[in-house]
């Protein structure tokens, strides 16, 4: 018995909701006022069409929009991840470059401050001291390497 009364009440409410009229009047400033009970006459009766919502179509559209939003979010996350990886790689490369710059600068300064340098690659294990020309060439090569590593990218 209760389910029948509930269904009857719902049908009555739905029937009343669809049967109401909409009127438009103007207020004192001339702005339109829409209501179901006009306070003043004359009131213009509007023909308002209403339709029931197709829940299946609504669910389909909602699911499609959620899928599109998910795909866009996934693409955005992938782009952010790639950007972060590129940033980290760039930071690591800059740190490595700074380390090499410091090492080559130290080597160059060592060559510039040295009065005598030797080469220990001799087959008999003896030291062979560099001539002035060889020392100048070593300094020049060290300067080129330092300039290469310490130059701004």
Tell me the whole-structure pTM to 2 decimals: 0.46
User: What percentage of the chain carries pLDDT values higher than 70?
Assistant: 86
Residue 153 corresponds to which tokens in the numbers above? 């990218």
For the stretch 2-35, pLDDT in tens is 555 455 555 555 554 455 788 888 888 988 888 8
- Residues counted in the chain: 153
Q: Which of 119, 121, 122, 147 is nearest to 135 (CA)?
A: 119
Quick one: which of 107, 113, 118 has its CA closest to 144?
A: 107
* Residue of 97, 105, 115 lying closest to 153 (CA atoms): 97
Which of the pair, 95 or 52, is modelled with greater confidence? Answer: 95
Mean pLDDT in residue range 38-54: 79
pLDDT score recorded for residue 6: 59
Digit-coded pLDDT (tens) for 85-132:
999 999 999 899 989 889 999 988 888 888 778 777 667 777 888 888
Q: Starting at the edge strand that comes first in sequence, how are the strands of the sheet with 44-46 ordered?
A: 32-35, 22-26, 44-46
87-105 residues labelled b (16+ CB within 10 A) or e (exposed): eeeeeeeeeeeeeebeebb
54 vs 11: CA distance, rounded Å: 18
- Cα 5 from Cα 30, distance rounded (Å): 46
Q: Which two tokens stand for residue 108?
A: 């160059």
What's the rounded Cα separation, in Å, for the pair 108 and 145?
A: 9
């Amino acid at each position: 018995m209760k389910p029948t009364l509930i269904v009857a009440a719902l049908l009555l409410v739905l029937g009343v909701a669809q049967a109401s009229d909409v009127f438009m009047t103007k207020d004192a400033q001339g702005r339109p006022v829409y209501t179901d009970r006009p306070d003043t006459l004359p009131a213009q009766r509007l023909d308002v069409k209403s339709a029931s919502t197709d829940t299946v179509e609504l669910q389909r559209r909602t699911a499609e929009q959620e899928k599109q939003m998910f795909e866009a979010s996934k693409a955005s996350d992938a782009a952010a991840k790639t950007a972060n990886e590129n940033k980290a790689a760039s930071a690591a490369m800059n740190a490595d470059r700074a380390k090499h710059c410091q090492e080559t600068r130290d080597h160059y300064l060592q060559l510039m401050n040295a009065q005598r340098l030797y080469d220990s690659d001799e087959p008999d294990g003896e030291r062979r001291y560099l001539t002035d020309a060889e020392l100048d060439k070593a300094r020049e090569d060290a300067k080129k390497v330092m300039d290469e590593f310490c130059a701004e990218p």
